[in-house]
Amino acid sequence: MNFTLCTENKVFPYMLVDDFYTTEEQFLIWEELEYYRKENLYSDGKLSGSYGVSSVANLNRIYLEELYPNNREDSNILTVYKKILSPEVLENYRQTTPTARQFENTNYDCSIVSYYEDSNNYGEHFDSFMHTVLIWFYQTPKRFEDGNLRFPESNETVECIHNRMIMFPSYYLHEVDKVKLENKYRDQGLGRYCMTHFYSKV
Protein backbone atom coordinates (compact mmCIF):
# COMPACT_ATOMS: atom_id res chain seq x y z
CA MET A 1 0.00 0.00 0.00
CA ASN A 2 1.29 3.44 -0.99
CA PHE A 3 -0.28 6.31 0.94
CA THR A 4 -0.75 9.90 -0.23
CA LEU A 5 -2.21 12.31 2.32
CA CYS A 6 -3.89 15.09 0.34
CA THR A 7 -3.95 17.81 2.98
CA GLU A 8 -3.08 21.01 1.11
CA ASN A 9 -6.72 22.04 1.23
CA LYS A 10 -7.34 22.19 4.99
CA VAL A 11 -11.11 22.28 4.56
CA PHE A 12 -11.41 19.23 2.28
CA PRO A 13 -8.51 16.82 2.97
CA TYR A 14 -8.68 13.22 1.74
CA MET A 15 -6.46 10.15 1.62
CA LEU A 16 -5.32 8.09 -1.38
CA VAL A 17 -3.90 4.58 -1.19
CA ASP A 18 -2.41 3.16 -4.39
CA ASP A 19 -1.81 -0.58 -4.80
CA PHE A 20 -4.39 -1.11 -2.08
CA TYR A 21 -5.09 -4.79 -2.67
CA THR A 22 -2.44 -7.47 -3.12
CA THR A 23 -2.25 -9.57 -6.29
CA GLU A 24 -4.02 -12.42 -4.51
CA GLU A 25 -6.78 -10.14 -3.22
CA GLN A 26 -7.26 -8.64 -6.68
CA PHE A 27 -7.70 -12.14 -8.12
CA LEU A 28 -10.48 -12.84 -5.60
CA ILE A 29 -12.20 -9.54 -6.39
CA TRP A 30 -12.04 -10.08 -10.15
CA GLU A 31 -13.55 -13.53 -9.68
CA GLU A 32 -16.57 -11.92 -8.03
CA LEU A 33 -16.84 -9.00 -10.45
CA GLU A 34 -16.76 -11.33 -13.46
CA TYR A 35 -19.45 -13.51 -11.91
CA TYR A 36 -21.76 -10.51 -11.47
CA ARG A 37 -21.20 -9.44 -15.07
CA LYS A 38 -21.74 -12.87 -16.62
CA GLU A 39 -24.87 -13.46 -14.54
CA ASN A 40 -26.17 -9.98 -15.40
CA LEU A 41 -26.83 -9.12 -11.76
CA TYR A 42 -26.40 -5.35 -12.07
CA SER A 43 -29.41 -3.11 -11.66
CA ASP A 44 -30.12 0.49 -12.61
CA GLY A 45 -27.88 2.87 -10.72
CA LYS A 46 -30.60 5.10 -9.29
CA LEU A 47 -30.51 4.43 -5.58
CA SER A 48 -33.51 3.06 -3.78
CA GLY A 49 -34.64 1.81 -0.40
CA SER A 50 -32.35 2.48 2.54
CA TYR A 51 -29.77 4.09 0.25
CA GLY A 52 -32.08 6.96 -0.68
CA VAL A 53 -32.87 8.09 -4.22
CA SER A 54 -30.49 9.78 -6.63
CA SER A 55 -31.44 10.94 -10.11
CA VAL A 56 -27.79 11.86 -10.82
CA ALA A 57 -26.55 8.23 -10.80
CA ASN A 58 -26.18 7.12 -14.43
CA LEU A 59 -24.52 3.73 -13.96
CA ASN A 60 -25.13 0.08 -13.01
CA ARG A 61 -25.05 -1.23 -9.45
CA ILE A 62 -25.17 -4.19 -7.11
CA TYR A 63 -26.03 -3.79 -3.43
CA LEU A 64 -23.92 -6.38 -1.63
CA GLU A 65 -25.96 -6.34 1.59
CA GLU A 66 -29.01 -7.36 -0.44
CA LEU A 67 -27.08 -10.11 -2.21
CA TYR A 68 -25.48 -11.42 1.00
CA PRO A 69 -27.95 -10.54 3.79
CA ASN A 70 -26.85 -13.27 6.19
CA ASN A 71 -23.75 -14.68 4.54
CA ARG A 72 -21.27 -11.85 4.00
CA GLU A 73 -18.42 -14.33 4.28
CA ASP A 74 -19.47 -15.76 0.88
CA SER A 75 -18.44 -12.51 -0.82
CA ASN A 76 -14.75 -12.14 -1.63
CA ILE A 77 -15.18 -8.37 -1.67
CA LEU A 78 -16.79 -8.34 1.78
CA THR A 79 -13.94 -10.47 3.06
CA VAL A 80 -10.90 -8.58 1.75
CA TYR A 81 -12.33 -5.08 2.35
CA LYS A 82 -11.68 -5.49 6.07
CA LYS A 83 -8.15 -4.20 5.50
CA ILE A 84 -9.71 -0.72 5.35
CA LEU A 85 -9.74 -1.00 9.15
CA SER A 86 -6.11 -2.09 9.37
CA PRO A 87 -3.82 -0.14 11.75
CA GLU A 88 -1.78 1.27 8.86
CA VAL A 89 -4.84 2.70 7.13
CA LEU A 90 -6.26 4.11 10.36
CA GLU A 91 -2.98 5.77 11.33
CA ASN A 92 -2.61 7.48 7.95
CA TYR A 93 -6.24 8.62 7.99
CA ARG A 94 -5.65 10.17 11.43
CA GLN A 95 -2.83 12.17 9.90
CA THR A 96 -5.13 13.27 7.06
CA THR A 97 -8.15 14.62 8.89
CA PRO A 98 -9.42 15.06 12.48
CA THR A 99 -12.67 13.39 11.39
CA ALA A 100 -10.75 10.10 11.45
CA ARG A 101 -11.76 9.99 15.11
CA GLN A 102 -15.33 9.78 13.95
CA PHE A 103 -14.48 7.06 11.42
CA GLU A 104 -12.94 4.91 14.13
CA ASN A 105 -16.17 5.25 16.12
CA THR A 106 -18.40 3.87 13.34
CA ASN A 107 -20.16 0.55 13.87
CA TYR A 108 -22.06 0.05 10.62
CA ASP A 109 -21.07 -0.23 6.97
CA CYS A 110 -22.70 -1.08 3.66
CA SER A 111 -21.19 -1.76 0.26
CA ILE A 112 -22.05 -1.22 -3.40
CA VAL A 113 -20.35 -2.37 -6.59
CA SER A 114 -20.83 0.08 -9.48
CA TYR A 115 -19.96 -0.42 -13.13
CA TYR A 116 -19.58 2.40 -15.67
CA GLU A 117 -19.59 1.91 -19.43
CA ASP A 118 -19.69 4.49 -22.22
CA SER A 119 -21.52 7.73 -21.29
CA ASN A 120 -22.07 6.63 -17.68
CA ASN A 121 -21.37 9.20 -14.99
CA TYR A 122 -22.42 10.21 -11.49
CA GLY A 123 -23.46 13.82 -11.03
CA GLU A 124 -22.66 16.07 -8.09
CA HIS A 125 -23.89 14.63 -4.79
CA PHE A 126 -22.93 13.86 -1.21
CA ASP A 127 -23.40 10.59 0.67
CA SER A 128 -25.76 10.27 3.63
CA PHE A 129 -23.21 8.48 5.78
CA MET A 130 -20.19 9.52 7.86
CA HIS A 131 -17.27 8.33 5.72
CA THR A 132 -16.93 7.11 2.15
CA VAL A 133 -14.33 4.72 0.75
CA LEU A 134 -14.03 4.18 -3.02
CA ILE A 135 -11.80 1.56 -4.64
CA TRP A 136 -11.41 1.58 -8.42
CA PHE A 137 -10.80 -1.42 -10.65
CA TYR A 138 -10.50 -1.89 -14.40
CA GLN A 139 -8.90 -4.33 -16.80
CA THR A 140 -5.46 -3.27 -17.96
CA PRO A 141 -4.54 -1.84 -20.33
CA LYS A 142 -7.15 0.82 -19.65
CA ARG A 143 -9.63 1.02 -22.54
CA PHE A 144 -11.77 3.93 -21.39
CA GLU A 145 -11.11 7.63 -20.93
CA ASP A 146 -12.15 9.92 -18.07
CA GLY A 147 -14.33 8.47 -15.29
CA ASN A 148 -12.34 10.55 -12.81
CA LEU A 149 -13.58 11.75 -9.42
CA ARG A 150 -14.12 15.48 -8.91
CA PHE A 151 -14.58 17.49 -5.72
CA PRO A 152 -16.42 20.64 -6.91
CA GLU A 153 -16.01 22.57 -3.65
CA SER A 154 -12.22 22.33 -3.69
CA ASN A 155 -11.97 22.18 -7.49
CA GLU A 156 -9.83 19.04 -7.34
CA THR A 157 -9.84 16.06 -9.69
CA VAL A 158 -8.59 12.61 -8.66
CA GLU A 159 -7.56 10.31 -11.49
CA CYS A 160 -9.22 6.91 -11.66
CA ILE A 161 -6.32 4.46 -11.34
CA HIS A 162 -6.70 0.70 -11.00
CA ASN A 163 -6.49 -0.56 -7.40
CA ARG A 164 -6.53 2.98 -5.99
CA MET A 165 -8.49 3.65 -2.82
CA ILE A 166 -9.74 7.08 -1.75
CA MET A 167 -11.18 7.87 1.66
CA PHE A 168 -13.02 11.05 2.69
CA PRO A 169 -15.88 12.37 4.87
CA SER A 170 -19.20 11.60 3.19
CA TYR A 171 -20.49 15.17 3.30
CA TYR A 172 -18.00 16.31 0.62
CA LEU A 173 -19.71 17.06 -2.67
CA HIS A 174 -18.25 14.78 -5.33
CA GLU A 175 -19.00 13.57 -8.85
CA VAL A 176 -17.68 11.18 -11.52
CA ASP A 177 -17.17 12.60 -14.99
CA LYS A 178 -18.51 10.78 -18.03
CA VAL A 179 -16.75 7.59 -19.11
CA LYS A 180 -15.78 7.33 -22.78
CA LEU A 181 -15.44 3.78 -24.10
CA GLU A 182 -15.08 2.90 -27.77
CA ASN A 183 -17.80 0.73 -29.28
CA LYS A 184 -15.45 -2.22 -29.87
CA TYR A 185 -14.76 -2.45 -26.11
CA ARG A 186 -18.34 -2.22 -24.86
CA ASP A 187 -20.31 -4.96 -23.09
CA GLN A 188 -17.15 -6.90 -22.23
CA GLY A 189 -16.50 -5.71 -18.68
CA LEU A 190 -13.78 -3.32 -19.89
CA GLY A 191 -15.24 -0.22 -18.24
CA ARG A 192 -14.83 1.32 -14.80
CA TYR A 193 -15.62 -0.63 -11.63
CA CYS A 194 -16.00 1.09 -8.27
CA MET A 195 -16.37 -0.66 -4.94
CA THR A 196 -17.99 1.77 -2.51
CA HIS A 197 -17.98 1.22 1.24
CA PHE A 198 -20.05 3.57 3.42
CA TYR A 199 -19.40 3.86 7.15
CA SER A 200 -21.67 5.31 9.84
CA LYS A 201 -22.80 4.88 13.44
CA VAL A 202 -26.19 3.49 14.38
Predicted confidence at residue 40, as pLDDT, reads: 87
To 10 degrees, the CA torsion angle through 117, 192, 52, 56?
Answer: -50
Predicted confidence at residue 55, as pLDDT, reads: 60
Predicted confidence at residue 58, as pLDDT, reads: 78
- Report the CATH number that the domain containing residue 28 is assigned in CATH: 2.60.120.620
Question: For residue 48, is pLDDT > 90?
Answer: no
- How many angstroms separate the CA atoms of 5 and 8, rounded? 9
Q: Are 15 and 93 in contact (CB under 8 A)?
A: yes
Predicted confidence at residue 4, as pLDDT, reads: 98
Question: For residue 109, is pLDDT > 80?
Answer: yes
DSSP SS3 for 20: coil
pTM for the predicted model, two decimal places: 0.93
| Sign of torsion over alpha carbons 165, 166, 169, 172 | negative
Looking at the structure of the chain, the number of domains it has is: 1
pLDDT band (50, 70, 90) for residue 49:
very low
pLDDT band (50, 70, 90) for residue 42:
confident
Predicted confidence at residue 47, as pLDDT, reads: 52
To 10 degrees, the CA torsion angle through 115, 162, 174, 61?
Answer: 20
DSSP SS3 for 94: helix
Q: What is the mean pLDDT of residues 139-147?
A: 97
199 to 10, 23, 64, 73, 99: CA distances (angstroms): 22, 26, 14, 18, 12
Instruction: Write the single-letter amino acid at 42.
Output: Y
The domain containing residue 28 runs over which residues? 2-200
**Percentage, residues of the chain above pLDDT 90:** 90
Question: For residue 3, is pLDDT > 60?
Answer: yes
Q: 106-140: b or e for each residue (b if 16 or more CB lie within 10 Å)?
A: beebbbbbbbbbbebbbeebebebbbbbbbbbbbe
